[in-house]
Amino acid sequence: MKHKLTVLVAISAALTLAGCSQTTQGNTQSSQSKTSKVAKNSSDNSNTATASSKNKDTYTKLSASKMDYKTTASAIAVYAAQKYGDTWEIAVNAAKQGNLGVAFRSKDATGVTSDNDGYVYEVSGTGKSSNARYMLAGDGADKQVTIFVKQRNLGTTSLKDIVAYLNQKNDADLVKQLAEKTELNVKLAGDEDRQKTTNNSSASVIPSSLQGTWYTADTGNGNIDTLTVTDNKINDEAGFSMNVKAKTSGSSTSDGYMKQTTINGISFYSFTNMGQTPGQGSTYLAPHTEDGQSVIVSANSNGRTNAVYWKSKAVAKKNSNKQFSDLKY
């Protein structure tokens, strides 16, 4: 009997110890599970915080190598407004409420002196002539931009440096917003064409959009031909010259008249000798835009392009005999 009691006590003690061990293991596993969940939650929070931080540091960026003409004009204007203020800041602030207008003008018309033979781009947010101007040279991201206030040269920088500056300032959204409201090749009130038309309103026949001195290298041999158009006369170095009258009658063989017509979706002006009807033998000219620049397209009566005239010899030479997809050849 005494032996049986001893065995029962030993078995009871063993069972008690086994139960304690399981309880301890259960508590340990529960503790480890809770710790694991806390660690996981902590990790999730950390990842969320990191993602949030990345989102805060992610801004819209501009690319100098993927920039159309309107965005380029907008970027230059915003850059110059921040860098130099003055008339540039006035133009940009006005453009935010309306449109950013960019007129293409010649150096002679603006008084700008520069080794650059290209256009002078005049920027305005009010639709009126402005002293905010720039010139371009080269292509792509390395394009050189020279900034002026009136005739004063403020400096030259590359388009990629302008873009880097704007990206650093997080101004890409502003540039893109203005680009959507940018108009190229506009006529600003007070510019030389508008003044000329006003001063010669009684004698002017030819529209101001055609007037000026234009150049083409579409001669087949690389030579430059010059086309000069005033308010009532056309003179082409190739041998064409005409005094344009408001009426379709006259006695001089050098006199002609003008009519407007649309061919292949482009609005042309036909210049025809007195006593003849528009068609074969007439000269057809159209104000147009190619590569973001103001040009004159010369064509025959079927709208087939003879030449594209530019506002500078250098640009004409660069585009010698080039064919554009929106023109008929």
Beta partners for residue 288, in sequence order:
295
pLDDT given at position 322: 92
Residue 47 domain-assigned? no
> In percent, how much of the chain has pLDDT > 70?
76
129 and 213 belong to one structural domain:
no
CA dihedral 127, 130, 136, 140 (to 10 degrees): -40
Q: Closest by alpha carbon to 167, among 62, 84, 79, 77?
A: 62
* pLDDT confidence tier of residue 250, bands split at 50, 70 and 90: low
Q: Tens digits of per-residue pLDDT, 75-108?
A: 999 999 999 888 899 999 999 999 999 998 888 7
Tokens representing 103?
A: 């007129």
Q: Is residue 181 scored above 70 in pLDDT? A: yes
Beta-carbon contacts of residue 278 (< 8 Å; ≥ 6 apart): 259, 261, 270, 272, 301
Q: Tens digits of per-residue pLDDT, 301-313?
A: 888 999 999 988 8
Q: What angle do the packed helices 69-84 and 172-179 form, to 10 degrees? A: 130
β-strand pairing of 266-273 with 283-290 = antiparallel
**Overall number of domains in the chain:** 2
Tally the residues of the chain.
Answer: 329
Q: Is residue 36 scored above 90 in pLDDT? A: no
pLDDT given at position 252: 61
Environment class of 146 (CB within 10 Å of its CB; exposed 0-12, middle 13-18, buried 19+): buried
CA distances to 20, 157, 227, 265, 294 from 307, rounded to whole Å, are 101, 33, 11, 17, 14
* pLDDT confidence tier of residue 253, bands split at 50, 70 and 90: low
* pLDDT confidence tier of residue 157, bands split at 50, 70 and 90: very high
* pLDDT confidence tier of residue 111, bands split at 50, 70 and 90: confident
Residue 26 domain-assigned? no
Euclidean distance between CA atoms 147 and 114, whole angstroms? 11
Q: Closest by alpha carbon to 135, among 51, 46, 54, 154?
A: 154
169 and 225 belong to one structural domain:
no
Residue 80 domain-assigned? yes
Q: Tens digits of per-residue pLDDT, 136-153?
A: 988 889 999 999 998 889
157 and 213 belong to one structural domain:
no
Residue 42 domain-assigned? no
pLDDT given at position 249: 66
180 and 212 belong to one structural domain:
no
244 and 303 belong to one structural domain:
yes
Within 10 A of 186 (CB to CB), how many other CB atoms are there? 17
Residue 61 domain-assigned? no
Segments forming the whole domain that contains residue 153 = 69-184
Q: Where are the alpha helices (DSSP H) in the chain?
A: 2-56, 69-84, 86-97, 107-110, 159-168, 172-179, 192-199, 313-318
